[in-house]
């Protein structure tokens, strides 16, 4: 909204709320749509909040709104369970009525005497057991989630191979929450001059440094290693390296950021 940055920011906060509602107790397609809304809103909000046009007196209101979004951030466990139900519903359909991603060539059922029903029932039992085991851990510490990925090998079944990854949202929810918390720290600092101490969804605590009047905050990122705020030139507060901060564009050669970094002026 040209000339009215405050109303524009309130509109973007409404988009955040829409994305939160879309992905709350939802399924993979809704989560992907919500993640796109969230990532675009994050880029636009960051540019508006830290511009000279936005009234500093209104930062406190934004600070409270971001805190509410963080507090009510949707959990991923219910999403995984819902995705498993979607898989089960697809398996109840005749083969020709299933979505393409749920179709498996008949020759791959040889271990089951070419019986699709037996193979699908066996696959669903294994998938559901795996989802029930991992769902409570998806919203816990990142090292627990990484540990599960390392131990989550499932014996080969014709239906599991292409569908296990389908259960997990293609866009990492932990990454989305990390960006939200970096924004919270930056907004709170710009509004009050104080440093928020927040948990890092990928590690223990979000890190920060102050250079003059500038605050630099960062997360260790998906590898869990603190590189001292080395973003490999991908500080998304300075430029737009990707549509989603810290995530690579498929087919585009870029150096992936080592840490996820945000820098803001006081």
How is residue 252 written in tokens?
């585009």
Q: Is 238 helix (H, G, I), strand (E, B) or coil?
A: coil
Q: What is the pLDDT of residues 209-234, one digit of tens each?
A: 998 888 899 999 888 888 888 877 66
User: Which among 208, 222, 137, 233 has a CA at the least distance from the CA of 178?
Assistant: 222
How is residue 130 written in tokens?
């795996």
**Does 206 score more than 90 pLDDT?**
yes
Q: What is the pLDDT of residues 85-107, one digit of tens each?
A: 888 888 888 877 877 766 777 77
The torsion of the CA quartet 62, 64, 70, 74, rounded to 10 degrees, works out to: -90
CA 108/CA 88 separation, integer angstroms = 19
CA 173/CA 235 separation, integer angstroms = 20
The torsion of the CA quartet 177, 190, 260, 32, rounded to 10 degrees, works out to: 30
Residue-level pLDDT at 169: 56
Across 39-43, 67-71, 146-150, the highest mean pLDDT is recorded for 67-71
The domain segmentation of the chain, as residue ranges, is 5-75+172-265, 77-167
User: Which among 96, 109, 108, 154 has a CA at the least distance from the CA of 127?
Assistant: 154
Residue-level pLDDT at 257: 60
Using CA atoms, how far residue 132 sits from 75, 85, 145, 209, in Å, is 14, 12, 14, 40
Phi and psi torsions of 12, nearest 5° = -70, -35
Residue-level pLDDT at 159: 58
The rounded percent of the chain whose pLDDT value lies above 90 is 20
Q: What is the pLDDT of residues 238-266, one digit of tens each?
A: 554 444 444 544 444 344 567 888 888 87
How is residue 102 written in tokens?
């749920």
Specify whether the CB–CB gap between 58 and 9 falls below 8 A.
yes
**Does 21 score more than 80 pLDDT?**
yes
How is residue 176 written in tokens?
């989305």
Name the maximum alpha-carbon separation found in the chain.
71
CA 197/CA 227 separation, integer angstroms = 19
Residue-level pLDDT at 248: 46
Residue-level pLDDT at 168: 62
Phi and psi torsions of 156, nearest 5° = -60, 130
CA 94/CA 181 separation, integer angstroms = 45
Residue-level pLDDT at 111: 79
How is residue 94 written in tokens?
């005749």
How is residue 164 written in tokens?
């296990």
Residue-level pLDDT at 146: 60
Rounded average pLDDT over 166-192:
82
User: Which among 232, 196, 224, 217 has a CA at the least distance from the CA of 264?
Assistant: 217
Residue 109 pLDDT level (bands cut at 50, 70, 90): confident
Residue-level pLDDT at 64: 93
């Amino acid at each position: 909204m040209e000339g009215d940055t405050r109303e524009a920011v309130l509109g973007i906060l409404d988009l955040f709320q829409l994305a939160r509602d879309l992905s709350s107790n939802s399924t993979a397609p809704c989560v992907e749509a919500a993640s796109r809304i969230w990532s675009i809103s994050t880029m636009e909000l960051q540019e508006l909040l830290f511009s000279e046009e936005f009234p500093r007196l209104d930062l406190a209101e934004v600070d409270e709104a971001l805190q509410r979004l963080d507090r009510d951030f949707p959990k991923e466990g219910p999403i995984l369970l819902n995705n498993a139900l979607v898989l089960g519903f697809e398996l109840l359909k005749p083969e020709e009525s299933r979505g393409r991603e749920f179709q498996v060539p008949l020759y791959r059922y040889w271990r089951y005497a070419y019986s699709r029903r037996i193979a699908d029932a066996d696959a669903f039992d294994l998938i559901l057991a795996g989802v029930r085991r991992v769902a409570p851990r998806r919203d816990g510490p990142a090292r627990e989630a990484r540990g599960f990925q390392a131990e989550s090998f499932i014996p080969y079944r014709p239906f599991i191979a292409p569908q296990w990854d389908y259960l997990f949202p293609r866009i990492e929810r932990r990454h989305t929450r990390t960006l939200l918390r970096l924004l919270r720290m930056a907004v709170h600092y710009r509004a009050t001059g104080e440093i928020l101490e927040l948990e890092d969804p990928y590690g223990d605590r979000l890190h920060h440094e102050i250079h003059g009047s500038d605050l630099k905050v960062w997360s260790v990122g998906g590898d869990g290693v603190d590189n001292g705020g080395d973003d490999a030139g991908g500080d998304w507060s300075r430029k737009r390296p990707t549509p989603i901060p810290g995530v690579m564009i498929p087919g585009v050669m870029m150096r992936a950021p080592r840490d996820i970094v945000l820098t803001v002026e006081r």
